[in-house]
Homo-oligomer: A and B are copies of this chain.
Amino acid sequence: MKFTTGGVCAAKGYKASGIHCGIRKNRTKRDLALIVSEIPAAAACTCTRNLVKGAPLTVTKNNISDGYAQAVICNSGNANTCNANGIEIAEGMCALVERELGIDAKNVVVASTGVIGQPLSLEPIDLGMKALCEGLDNSEDAANAAAEAIMTTDTVKKEVAVEFECGGVTCRMGGIAKGSGMIHPDMATMLVFITTDCAVSPEMLQKALSADIKDSFNMVSVDGDTSTNDMVALLANGMAGGKMIESEGEDYDIFCRALAMITRTLCRMIASDGEGATKLMDCKVSGAVSVEAAKTVAKSVICSSLLKAAMFGADANWGRVLCAIGYSGAEVDITKVDVDFSSEAGTVAVCRNGAGIEFDEDVAKKVLSEKDIFILVGLNDGEAEAEAWGCDLTYDYVKINGDYRT
Protein backbone atom coordinates (compact mmCIF):
# COMPACT_ATOMS: atom_id res chain seq x y z
CA MET A 1 0.00 0.00 0.00
CA LYS A 2 1.47 3.36 -0.97
CA PHE A 3 0.45 6.95 -1.53
CA THR A 4 0.02 8.05 -5.11
CA THR A 5 -1.21 11.13 -7.00
CA GLY A 6 -4.39 12.10 -8.81
CA GLY A 7 -6.89 12.70 -5.98
CA VAL A 8 -10.40 11.59 -6.95
CA CYS A 9 -9.13 10.82 -10.47
CA ALA A 10 -6.46 8.38 -9.28
CA ALA A 11 -8.78 5.38 -9.64
CA LYS A 12 -9.70 4.03 -13.06
CA GLY A 13 -12.82 5.36 -14.74
CA TYR A 14 -13.32 8.61 -12.85
CA LYS A 15 -13.29 12.12 -14.26
CA ALA A 16 -13.67 15.40 -12.40
CA SER A 17 -14.21 19.08 -13.06
CA GLY A 18 -14.53 22.32 -11.12
CA ILE A 19 -15.58 25.79 -12.27
CA HIS A 20 -16.77 29.18 -11.08
CA CYS A 21 -20.43 29.43 -12.03
CA GLY A 22 -21.38 32.49 -10.01
CA ILE A 23 -22.83 31.24 -6.70
CA ARG A 24 -19.91 32.96 -5.00
CA LYS A 25 -19.25 36.60 -5.71
CA ASN A 26 -15.48 36.17 -5.97
CA ARG A 27 -14.93 35.30 -9.63
CA THR A 28 -11.54 33.72 -8.98
CA LYS A 29 -13.05 31.13 -6.65
CA ARG A 30 -14.46 27.91 -8.15
CA ASP A 31 -17.86 27.05 -6.67
CA LEU A 32 -19.17 24.01 -8.55
CA ALA A 33 -17.62 20.54 -8.67
CA LEU A 34 -18.50 17.39 -10.56
CA ILE A 35 -17.14 13.86 -10.24
CA VAL A 36 -18.31 11.20 -12.71
CA SER A 37 -17.68 7.47 -12.93
CA GLU A 38 -17.63 5.86 -16.39
CA ILE A 39 -20.03 3.20 -15.15
CA PRO A 40 -22.44 3.08 -12.20
CA ALA A 41 -20.51 2.51 -8.97
CA ALA A 42 -21.43 0.93 -5.66
CA ALA A 43 -22.06 3.88 -3.34
CA ALA A 44 -21.94 4.41 0.42
CA CYS A 45 -22.66 7.53 2.39
CA THR A 46 -22.83 8.83 5.95
CA CYS A 47 -24.49 12.10 6.89
CA THR A 48 -24.68 14.55 9.78
CA ARG A 49 -26.73 13.65 12.84
CA ASN A 50 -27.67 17.29 13.29
CA LEU A 51 -31.49 17.45 13.39
CA VAL A 52 -31.19 20.34 10.96
CA LYS A 53 -30.19 18.53 7.79
CA GLY A 54 -29.27 20.22 4.54
CA ALA A 55 -31.76 19.43 1.76
CA PRO A 56 -29.00 17.85 -0.40
CA LEU A 57 -28.49 15.15 2.24
CA THR A 58 -32.11 14.05 2.02
CA VAL A 59 -31.95 13.89 -1.78
CA THR A 60 -28.61 12.01 -1.73
CA LYS A 61 -29.84 9.45 0.81
CA ASN A 62 -32.84 8.83 -1.38
CA ASN A 63 -30.76 8.58 -4.55
CA ILE A 64 -28.27 6.04 -3.23
CA SER A 65 -30.81 3.93 -1.35
CA ASP A 66 -30.40 1.30 -4.10
CA GLY A 67 -26.65 1.12 -3.35
CA TYR A 68 -25.42 2.75 -6.57
CA ALA A 69 -24.43 6.15 -7.93
CA GLN A 70 -22.53 7.44 -10.92
CA ALA A 71 -21.90 11.14 -10.28
CA VAL A 72 -21.32 13.67 -7.51
CA ILE A 73 -22.30 17.34 -7.92
CA CYS A 74 -21.39 19.81 -5.21
CA ASN A 75 -21.51 23.58 -4.88
CA SER A 76 -19.84 25.87 -2.36
CA GLY A 77 -21.02 29.32 -1.26
CA ASN A 78 -24.51 28.26 -0.18
CA ALA A 79 -25.53 25.31 2.02
CA ASN A 80 -29.06 25.03 0.60
CA THR A 81 -30.26 24.42 4.15
CA CYS A 82 -33.24 25.90 6.06
CA ASN A 83 -34.74 27.05 2.77
CA ALA A 84 -38.37 26.32 1.93
CA ASN A 85 -37.47 25.11 -1.59
CA GLY A 86 -34.28 23.21 -0.63
CA ILE A 87 -35.34 19.75 -1.83
CA GLU A 88 -36.57 21.12 -5.15
CA ILE A 89 -33.24 22.86 -5.76
CA ALA A 90 -31.16 19.81 -4.78
CA GLU A 91 -33.24 17.61 -7.09
CA GLY A 92 -32.86 20.28 -9.75
CA MET A 93 -29.07 19.99 -9.52
CA CYS A 94 -29.35 16.22 -10.11
CA ALA A 95 -31.67 16.82 -13.06
CA LEU A 96 -29.09 19.16 -14.61
CA VAL A 97 -26.53 16.32 -14.48
CA GLU A 98 -29.03 14.02 -16.20
CA ARG A 99 -29.77 16.61 -18.89
CA GLU A 100 -26.12 17.25 -19.63
CA LEU A 101 -24.62 13.76 -19.29
CA GLY A 102 -27.52 11.34 -19.61
CA ILE A 103 -26.82 9.93 -16.14
CA ASP A 104 -30.10 9.16 -14.35
CA ALA A 105 -30.78 11.93 -11.80
CA LYS A 106 -31.46 9.15 -9.29
CA ASN A 107 -27.81 8.10 -9.62
CA VAL A 108 -26.41 11.46 -8.50
CA VAL A 109 -24.93 12.35 -5.11
CA VAL A 110 -25.65 16.04 -4.43
CA ALA A 111 -24.01 18.22 -1.75
CA SER A 112 -23.85 21.91 -0.85
CA THR A 113 -21.75 23.93 1.58
CA GLY A 114 -21.77 27.58 2.62
CA VAL A 115 -24.19 29.96 4.28
CA ILE A 116 -27.29 28.45 5.90
CA GLY A 117 -30.74 29.91 5.26
CA GLN A 118 -30.26 31.83 2.04
CA PRO A 119 -32.21 30.54 -0.97
CA LEU A 120 -29.96 28.89 -3.57
CA SER A 121 -30.75 29.78 -7.17
CA LEU A 122 -30.45 27.06 -9.84
CA GLU A 123 -29.71 29.67 -12.47
CA PRO A 124 -25.91 29.99 -12.20
CA ILE A 125 -25.62 26.20 -11.95
CA ASP A 126 -27.82 25.75 -14.99
CA LEU A 127 -25.77 28.26 -16.97
CA GLY A 128 -22.49 26.70 -15.81
CA MET A 129 -23.34 23.05 -16.52
CA LYS A 130 -22.03 23.02 -20.07
CA ALA A 131 -18.59 24.37 -19.08
CA LEU A 132 -18.55 22.08 -16.05
CA CYS A 133 -19.15 18.98 -18.17
CA GLU A 134 -16.74 20.06 -20.90
CA GLY A 135 -14.08 20.32 -18.22
CA LEU A 136 -14.49 16.69 -17.17
CA ASP A 137 -11.11 14.96 -17.33
CA ASN A 138 -9.12 12.33 -15.48
CA SER A 139 -6.02 14.54 -15.13
CA GLU A 140 -4.50 15.76 -11.91
CA ASP A 141 -5.54 19.30 -12.88
CA ALA A 142 -9.16 18.24 -13.16
CA ALA A 143 -9.04 16.52 -9.75
CA ASN A 144 -7.50 19.70 -8.30
CA ALA A 145 -10.24 21.84 -9.82
CA ALA A 146 -12.92 19.71 -8.14
CA ALA A 147 -11.05 19.83 -4.82
CA GLU A 148 -10.87 23.62 -5.07
CA ALA A 149 -14.51 24.05 -6.02
CA ILE A 150 -15.80 22.49 -2.77
CA MET A 151 -13.63 24.72 -0.53
CA THR A 152 -15.22 27.46 1.61
CA THR A 153 -12.95 29.00 4.27
CA ASP A 154 -10.39 26.27 3.63
CA THR A 155 -6.97 27.70 2.89
CA VAL A 156 -5.53 24.56 1.30
CA LYS A 157 -6.88 21.89 -1.04
CA LYS A 158 -7.34 18.54 0.63
CA GLU A 159 -6.74 15.51 -1.53
CA VAL A 160 -5.02 12.17 -1.19
CA ALA A 161 -4.73 8.91 -3.10
CA VAL A 162 -3.36 5.44 -2.42
CA GLU A 163 -2.57 2.36 -4.48
CA PHE A 164 -3.08 -1.14 -3.08
CA GLU A 165 -3.31 -4.76 -4.15
CA CYS A 166 -6.76 -6.21 -3.65
CA GLY A 167 -8.89 -8.90 -5.30
CA GLY A 168 -5.91 -10.00 -7.38
CA VAL A 169 -5.31 -6.66 -9.05
CA THR A 170 -3.82 -3.24 -8.38
CA CYS A 171 -6.52 -0.85 -7.12
CA ARG A 172 -6.47 2.85 -6.42
CA MET A 173 -8.49 5.01 -4.05
CA GLY A 174 -8.55 8.78 -3.89
CA GLY A 175 -10.40 11.38 -1.90
CA ILE A 176 -11.02 15.10 -1.61
CA ALA A 177 -12.36 16.94 1.40
CA LYS A 178 -13.46 20.39 2.47
CA GLY A 179 -13.90 21.54 6.01
CA SER A 180 -12.42 24.26 8.14
CA GLY A 181 -15.09 25.64 10.49
CA MET A 182 -18.31 24.19 11.94
CA ILE A 183 -16.29 21.00 12.27
CA HIS A 184 -17.35 18.53 14.93
CA PRO A 185 -18.74 15.60 12.99
CA ASP A 186 -21.10 13.16 14.61
CA MET A 187 -21.42 9.89 12.68
CA ALA A 188 -20.32 11.69 9.53
CA THR A 189 -18.39 14.77 8.58
CA MET A 190 -17.73 17.78 6.46
CA LEU A 191 -17.76 17.05 2.75
CA VAL A 192 -15.58 14.15 1.70
CA PHE A 193 -15.77 12.37 -1.64
CA ILE A 194 -13.76 9.20 -2.13
CA THR A 195 -13.51 7.18 -5.33
CA THR A 196 -12.02 3.75 -5.93
CA ASP A 197 -11.80 1.28 -8.76
CA CYS A 198 -11.80 -1.61 -6.32
CA ALA A 199 -14.81 -3.89 -6.72
CA VAL A 200 -16.93 -3.86 -3.56
CA SER A 201 -20.58 -4.71 -3.07
CA PRO A 202 -22.77 -1.83 -1.82
CA GLU A 203 -23.34 -3.66 1.49
CA MET A 204 -19.65 -4.18 2.21
CA LEU A 205 -18.85 -0.64 1.04
CA GLN A 206 -21.32 0.89 3.50
CA LYS A 207 -20.06 -1.43 6.24
CA ALA A 208 -16.45 -0.37 5.66
CA LEU A 209 -17.34 3.32 5.59
CA SER A 210 -19.60 3.24 8.64
CA ALA A 211 -16.90 1.45 10.64
CA ASP A 212 -14.14 3.76 9.49
CA ILE A 213 -15.69 7.14 10.26
CA LYS A 214 -16.07 6.28 13.94
CA ASP A 215 -12.30 6.37 14.30
CA SER A 216 -11.56 8.96 11.64
CA PHE A 217 -13.86 11.89 10.88
CA ASN A 218 -15.85 11.56 14.10
CA MET A 219 -12.60 12.16 15.99
CA VAL A 220 -11.95 15.55 14.42
CA SER A 221 -13.11 18.86 15.89
CA VAL A 222 -12.30 22.42 14.99
CA ASP A 223 -14.90 24.27 17.03
CA GLY A 224 -17.42 21.87 18.51
CA ASP A 225 -20.14 22.87 16.07
CA THR A 226 -21.66 19.92 14.19
CA SER A 227 -22.61 21.07 10.70
CA THR A 228 -26.00 20.60 9.09
CA ASN A 229 -24.43 19.46 5.82
CA ASP A 230 -21.78 16.92 6.79
CA MET A 231 -21.41 14.16 4.25
CA VAL A 232 -18.90 11.48 3.32
CA ALA A 233 -19.61 9.68 0.05
CA LEU A 234 -17.61 6.75 -1.27
CA LEU A 235 -17.91 5.36 -4.80
CA ALA A 236 -16.43 2.02 -5.92
CA ASN A 237 -16.78 1.29 -9.65
CA GLY A 238 -14.76 -1.94 -9.76
CA MET A 239 -12.95 -0.83 -12.91
CA ALA A 240 -9.60 -2.09 -11.63
CA GLY A 241 -11.01 -5.45 -12.72
CA GLY A 242 -10.48 -7.35 -9.48
CA LYS A 243 -12.66 -9.86 -7.72
CA MET A 244 -15.71 -8.28 -6.06
CA ILE A 245 -15.52 -7.96 -2.27
CA GLU A 246 -18.81 -9.36 -1.06
CA SER A 247 -17.96 -10.51 2.44
CA GLU A 248 -15.39 -10.05 5.20
CA GLY A 249 -11.98 -11.57 4.64
CA GLU A 250 -8.48 -10.67 3.54
CA ASP A 251 -9.53 -8.41 0.66
CA TYR A 252 -12.06 -6.59 2.82
CA ASP A 253 -9.38 -6.00 5.44
CA ILE A 254 -6.99 -4.62 2.82
CA PHE A 255 -9.75 -2.39 1.48
CA CYS A 256 -10.47 -1.08 4.99
CA ARG A 257 -6.77 -0.35 5.52
CA ALA A 258 -6.65 1.62 2.25
CA LEU A 259 -9.77 3.50 3.29
CA ALA A 260 -8.20 4.26 6.68
CA MET A 261 -5.07 5.66 4.99
CA ILE A 262 -7.26 7.99 2.95
CA THR A 263 -9.51 9.09 5.80
CA ARG A 264 -6.79 9.55 8.45
CA THR A 265 -4.79 11.69 6.03
CA LEU A 266 -7.83 13.82 5.24
CA CYS A 267 -8.58 14.12 8.99
CA ARG A 268 -5.14 15.57 9.64
CA MET A 269 -5.51 17.92 6.67
CA ILE A 270 -8.90 19.15 7.87
CA ALA A 271 -7.77 19.71 11.46
CA SER A 272 -4.54 21.42 10.32
CA ASP A 273 -6.56 23.77 8.17
CA GLY A 274 -9.17 24.50 10.85
CA GLU A 275 -10.42 28.07 10.60
CA GLY A 276 -7.65 30.39 11.73
CA ALA A 277 -5.51 27.47 12.90
CA THR A 278 -1.74 27.72 13.10
CA LYS A 279 -1.19 24.19 14.35
CA LEU A 280 -2.54 20.67 14.45
CA MET A 281 -3.36 19.15 17.85
CA ASP A 282 -3.12 15.37 17.68
CA CYS A 283 -4.17 13.73 20.96
CA LYS A 284 -3.14 10.11 21.40
CA VAL A 285 -4.66 8.38 24.41
CA SER A 286 -3.36 5.02 25.61
CA GLY A 287 -3.95 2.75 28.60
CA ALA A 288 -7.70 3.32 28.77
CA VAL A 289 -10.14 0.83 30.27
CA SER A 290 -12.13 0.83 27.01
CA VAL A 291 -11.96 2.25 23.49
CA GLU A 292 -15.02 4.33 24.39
CA ALA A 293 -13.18 5.91 27.34
CA ALA A 294 -10.06 6.52 25.24
CA LYS A 295 -12.10 8.23 22.51
CA THR A 296 -14.06 10.34 25.00
CA VAL A 297 -10.84 11.55 26.63
CA ALA A 298 -9.06 12.25 23.31
CA LYS A 299 -12.00 14.21 21.95
CA SER A 300 -12.48 16.19 25.17
CA VAL A 301 -8.81 17.23 25.13
CA ILE A 302 -8.79 18.46 21.53
CA CYS A 303 -12.12 20.29 22.07
CA SER A 304 -11.02 22.35 25.09
CA SER A 305 -11.10 26.03 24.14
CA LEU A 306 -8.65 26.83 26.89
CA LEU A 307 -6.12 24.22 25.77
CA LYS A 308 -6.60 25.28 22.15
CA ALA A 309 -5.77 28.87 23.11
CA ALA A 310 -2.77 27.70 25.16
CA MET A 311 -1.46 25.75 22.17
CA PHE A 312 -1.75 28.90 20.06
CA GLY A 313 0.45 30.60 22.66
CA ALA A 314 2.83 27.59 22.82
CA ASP A 315 2.10 27.52 26.56
CA ALA A 316 2.64 24.11 28.21
CA ASN A 317 -0.47 24.55 30.37
CA TRP A 318 -0.96 20.83 31.05
CA GLY A 319 -3.44 21.57 33.86
CA ARG A 320 -5.95 22.26 31.10
CA VAL A 321 -5.33 18.78 29.67
CA LEU A 322 -6.07 17.27 33.09
CA CYS A 323 -9.12 19.51 33.45
CA ALA A 324 -10.50 18.36 30.07
CA ILE A 325 -9.90 14.72 30.97
CA GLY A 326 -11.70 15.29 34.26
CA TYR A 327 -14.87 16.72 32.75
CA SER A 328 -14.94 14.39 29.75
CA GLY A 329 -17.29 11.97 31.46
CA ALA A 330 -14.97 9.02 30.76
CA GLU A 331 -14.09 6.44 33.40
CA VAL A 332 -10.59 7.54 34.43
CA ASP A 333 -8.45 7.24 37.55
CA ILE A 334 -7.00 10.74 37.62
CA THR A 335 -4.20 9.73 39.98
CA LYS A 336 -2.73 7.50 37.27
CA VAL A 337 -2.71 10.01 34.41
CA ASP A 338 0.54 10.88 32.59
CA VAL A 339 0.82 13.69 30.04
CA ASP A 340 3.60 14.50 27.54
CA PHE A 341 3.78 17.12 24.81
CA SER A 342 5.62 16.05 21.69
CA SER A 343 6.55 17.39 18.25
CA GLU A 344 9.40 17.31 15.76
CA ALA A 345 11.40 19.38 18.25
CA GLY A 346 11.26 16.67 20.92
CA THR A 347 9.14 15.39 23.78
CA VAL A 348 8.58 16.90 27.20
CA ALA A 349 6.97 15.08 30.14
CA VAL A 350 4.79 17.47 32.15
CA CYS A 351 2.56 15.33 34.38
CA ARG A 352 2.95 11.97 36.12
CA ASN A 353 0.28 10.26 38.23
CA GLY A 354 -2.05 13.23 37.92
CA ALA A 355 0.41 15.72 39.38
CA GLY A 356 2.84 18.17 37.83
CA ILE A 357 6.52 17.34 37.47
CA GLU A 358 9.36 19.75 36.88
CA PHE A 359 10.17 20.43 33.26
CA ASP A 360 12.26 22.88 31.27
CA GLU A 361 9.93 25.67 30.12
CA ASP A 362 12.29 26.60 27.28
CA VAL A 363 12.25 23.06 25.93
CA ALA A 364 8.45 22.96 26.26
CA LYS A 365 8.14 26.24 24.36
CA LYS A 366 10.31 24.84 21.58
CA VAL A 367 8.27 21.64 21.38
CA LEU A 368 4.99 23.58 21.25
CA SER A 369 6.23 26.06 18.66
CA GLU A 370 6.14 23.42 15.93
CA LYS A 371 3.19 23.05 13.57
CA ASP A 372 2.16 19.48 14.48
CA ILE A 373 1.70 18.96 18.23
CA PHE A 374 1.10 15.57 19.82
CA ILE A 375 -0.59 15.50 23.21
CA LEU A 376 0.21 12.10 24.67
CA VAL A 377 -2.10 10.97 27.45
CA GLY A 378 -1.30 7.75 29.32
CA LEU A 379 -4.20 6.62 31.50
CA ASN A 380 -2.31 3.55 32.83
CA ASP A 381 -5.54 1.78 33.56
CA GLY A 382 -6.04 -0.64 30.64
CA GLU A 383 -5.08 -1.46 27.08
CA ALA A 384 -7.41 0.65 24.89
CA GLU A 385 -6.23 3.50 22.67
CA ALA A 386 -7.70 6.32 20.59
CA GLU A 387 -6.62 9.33 18.60
CA ALA A 388 -8.35 12.63 17.90
CA TRP A 389 -7.44 15.64 15.79
CA GLY A 390 -8.04 19.30 16.45
CA CYS A 391 -6.35 22.66 16.05
CA ASP A 392 -5.44 25.72 18.05
CA LEU A 393 -7.83 28.61 18.73
CA THR A 394 -6.54 31.85 17.26
CA TYR A 395 -7.38 35.48 16.60
CA ASP A 396 -8.12 34.52 13.03
CA TYR A 397 -10.82 32.00 14.02
CA VAL A 398 -12.65 34.88 15.68
CA LYS A 399 -12.01 37.18 12.71
CA ILE A 400 -13.22 34.65 10.15
CA ASN A 401 -16.41 33.89 12.06
CA GLY A 402 -17.18 37.36 13.35
CA ASP A 403 -18.40 38.39 9.94
CA TYR A 404 -18.78 35.30 7.78
CA ARG A 405 -21.91 36.25 5.89
CA THR A 406 -20.72 39.59 4.55
Contact = CB atoms under 8 A, between A and B. Distances in A.
B228 A303 contact: no
A112 to B, nearest CB: 13
Nearest to A182: B306
Contacts of A323: 50, 52, 116, 182, 225-228
B401 A398 contact: no
Nearest to A229: B323
Contacts of A186: 327
A225 B356 contact: no
A325 interface: yes
Contacts of A404: 310, 313, 315, 317
Interface stretch (A78-86, A198-206, A232-240, A252-260): A78-86
B401 A309 contact: yes
Interface stretch (A29-37, A133-141, A157-165, A389-397): A389-397
Contacts of A226: 323, 326-327
A289 interface: no
Contacts of A398: 309, 312, 393-395, 397-398
Interface in A142-192: 181-182, 184, 186
> Chain A interface: which size bin?
35 or more
A369 interface: no
A400 B398 CA distance: 14
A401 B307 CA distance: 8
A322 interface: yes
Given A82-B355, A226-B323, A322-B116, A315 B406 contact: yes
Contacts of A400: 309
Contact of A51 (B49, B320, B327, B351): B327
Interface in A300-330: 303-306, 309-310, 312-313, 315, 317-320, 322-327
B225 A304 contact: yes
A124 interface: no
Contacts of A401: 305-306, 309-310, 313, 393
B310 A402 contact: yes
B356 A118 contact: yes
A309 B184 CA distance: 16
A325 B106 CA distance: 31
Contacts of A51: 325-327, 332, 334
B306 A228 contact: no
Contacts of A81: 319
A299 to B, nearest CB: 12
Contact of A356 (B83, B305, B306, B315): B83
Contacts of A327: 49-52, 184, 186, 225-226
Given A313-B401, A315-B405, 14 more contacts: A81-B319, A116-B319, A116-B320, A181-B306, A182-B323, A227-B323, A228-B326, A306-B401, A309-B401, A310-B404, A312-B398, A313-B403, A317-B405, A393-B398
Identify the 10 closest CB pairs spanning chains A and B, nearest first: A116-B319, A313-B402, A52-B326, A309-B401, A117-B356, A226-B327, A50-B326, A51-B326, A223-B305, A313-B403
10 contacts: A52-B325, A82-B322, A116-B322, A117-B318, A225-B305, A225-B327, A309-B402, A310-B402, A315-B406, A317-B405
